[in-house]
Chains A and B, each alone.
Chain A
Amino acid sequence: MTALPLTLPKVLAIDDSVLIHRLLQVRLQHEQIQLFGATSADVGIKMARELRPDVVLLDIELDLKNQGMDGFGVLQVFKADPDLQEVSVIFISATATMEERVRALDMGASDFVAKPFEIVELQARVRSALRVQHLVKMLAQKAQVDGLTGLWNRTYFDRRLTQEVGEAIRHNRSLSLVMCDVDGFKKLNDERGHPFGDKVLERLSRILQTGRGSDIACRYGGEEFGIILPNTVGSEAIEVADRYRRAIEQEIWPSVPGMVITASFGVADVFVLPGTPTIEDFISTADAALYRAKVNGRNRVEAAVAMHLPG
């Protein structure tokens, strides 16, 4: 989860001249990129929304003939779109004056290349933009990943759960939440030391990542985890949670022969909640079920009551 996708970075060239596209195809063919091309502002914006490119090479004098949207207009659209505002934009132009170059950079373009291209310079500027983009992505992801376990962190959990609750309500789709807490973790820490406690959290996190691809496992805090299960009704979520529970129980701890570590689970289906649920309601409902799992003897899965009992 911490590694970035292994696909080649995408570069989108938006220029109204086929001559420039052919040239870029040849001149960037040895770079480790996927190159895409659009010959108008409209198509370029549409492709950018679909492809989510890392870098855009953008001609300033787009569509001279129809007096349509120019490169500045396209950049403005990108900057107003949350999905595209982080894209590195390299302006290319045959005529740009110093004022235009400054304007482009002030509007958020990351670099500028003059046409005709000095090939080595073009390649270097594309590579440089990709390096910056890679770091931006890494930082953005790092800020959402828990350092110890590699799971998504609390910040991400809150944001994603808000998003998923919204989607579930809008599209009338099912959604479940599983809260999980390691049994007797404080005692473990006290008796075996914190390094061992950390190891337990790491291993359990790995188990929580072995579920279905759509499950979103997060470290909620301390020894508590939250797993978001989109498109999953409560009864399925109970099964998923029970699989995790058994896997944790069966885990072998070579440094402490014979030791069994367990966890308790609370499950809530978003449709158990009355009205328009907030994520706080959702979390506390799952937490209440988790609390009952603890009270009823630990190493158990409990579901929010209304799911099974009418009223």
Chain B
Amino acid sequence: MGLEYVRISPGFERYMPRDYVDLVKFGQFGKQVDVMQLGQFKELVEEHPMCAGCYMAYFIRVFYAALPNPEDTIVLGTAGCARLALSQAAVPFIYGNYGDTNAVASGLKRALTIRFPDKVKDVVVIAGDGGLMDIGFGMTMHSWFRGEKFTTIMVDNEVYGNTGGQESGMSPKGVQLKMAPLGKKFDKINAVELAQVAGCVYVARISPTNPKRIAKVIRRAIYAAREFGPTFIHAYTSCNIEYSIPTREVLKDAREREKKDFKFYEWMTDEVKEYLEEIERKEKEKAKQEVK
């Protein structure tokens, strides 16, 4: 895309849908919003058909607010719950076949680098545990082995939520689900360690209990992917339908899981650390100057 495509041609304002006009006037294109300002600007993602109280929807909402450069970002998704909200956002969205998101993203990122050599274009894959760790496992792994420069975010609801509740490789051991009544016999895949071994330069595991931290992790992953190589975020986004969590207690569940197996974890290579510290120092200085 790019900013010139976002702006409305003069004279056409009154023919454009209200939501679009709001997006251009009060949205986040062309300026950097802080995630703590949520609720005070028009968000990129619109109303979506995800279930009430879905924390995957919450993660996606924070993800779009945290994007460092939404007008130059392309998001890829695949079959699964996440695509229902991803496709409702004002950021180009590509729907890969089940499992091939990382292969599509590899080609796309390479093509964008050739087509726009003087611009930074971010490519971000957001897919579920089935799309990345079960069915798309091979393509995810190989994109990391090749060192492709884009971000992969796994929104892990630990179940195939769209198709009635089959167990996935990421379901915890022993859990009984609607379409897996015998209980899962194997351990949860350790995706974070796999990513580290496979060559990711920045790896994080989070539970969505702190919007500021989610935003920080997402921005770091995108910045690191621009320069160094693949980055990976493993986010716990519970499925309140298949795991029968009352909607009121979804955040409580996320907080409890954070204390158990979804403790915040962040790992990066030394050169990435230096690079990110430099960027964050510059951002802080800029923010200070704006306050003055």
Say whether A and B bind each other. no
Q: Chain B interface (Cβ within 8 Å of chain A)?
A: none
Chain A residues within CB distance 8 Å of chain B:
none
